[in-house]
């Protein structure tokens, strides 16, 4: 099942972008790997995720979403043209940019980003919290 099933915008962009990061999220997450869980929100699909991790995820997701939005038309056009080499090239460039963007985000690793994305796919409360944080960050940037 694709990671984008069951999610609503604006998380679709960052989570779809995870597909470009190389693999479907559930397969990418090791059973013993995950975000810090000490003090944070308790969600219905696992231990609590630290507030700082959720905040860092939301910030990283905003950047990943912008990268995804830039590459999706290129990938779609290449796919429609039947040029799989270009599809792979664009997807590879997008994957590299997204990975670097997550690595530059303080407070979260790529593995933690994937773990939280997987959890958000399964946990409506966590997904709503991330959407709220992304929206608040957008409002801070745009002043609205």
13-67: pLDDT as tens digits:
554 555 445 443 333 332 334 444 443 555 455 778 899 999 999 999 999 999 9
- Residue 144 has a pLDDT of 63
Would you state the pLDDT for residue 143? 75
Helix (H) or strand (E) segment spanning residue 61 = helix 51-80
Q: What pLDDT score was predicted for residue 37?
A: 41
- Please write the tens of the pLDDT for every residue from 91-134: 999 999 999 999 999 999 999 999 999 999 899 999 999 999 99
Token digits for 34? Answer: 């995950």
Contact between residue 98 and residue 68 where contact means Cβ atoms under 8 Å apart:
yes
- Cα 30 to Cα 137: distance, rounded to the nearest angstrom: 30
Which helix (H) or strand (E) is 48 found in, with range?
Answer: strand 46-50
Cβ partners under 8 Å of residue 84, min gap 6? 78
pTM reported for the whole predicted model: 0.70
Total residues found in the chain within this entry: 144
Residue where the block lists tokens 């939301």: 58
């Amino acid at each position: 099942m694709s990671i984008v099933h069951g999610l609503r915008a604006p998380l679709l962009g960052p989570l779809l972008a995870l597909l470009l990061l190389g693999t479907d999220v559930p397969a990418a997450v090791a059973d013993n790997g995950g975000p810090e869980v000490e003090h944070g929100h308790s969600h219905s699909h696992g231990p609590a995720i630290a507030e700082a991790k959720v905040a860092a995820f939301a910030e990283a997701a905003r950047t990943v979403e912008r990268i995804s939005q830039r590459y999706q038309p290129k990938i779609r056009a290449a796919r429609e043209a039947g040029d799989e080499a270009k599809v792979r090239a664009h997807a590879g460039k997008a994957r590299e940019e997204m990975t670097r963007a997550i690595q530059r985000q303080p407070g979260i690793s790529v593995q933690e980003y994937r773990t939280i994305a997987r959890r958000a796919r399964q946990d409506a409360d966590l997904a709503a919290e991330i959407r709220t944080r992304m929206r608040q960050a957008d409002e801070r940037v745009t002043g609205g």
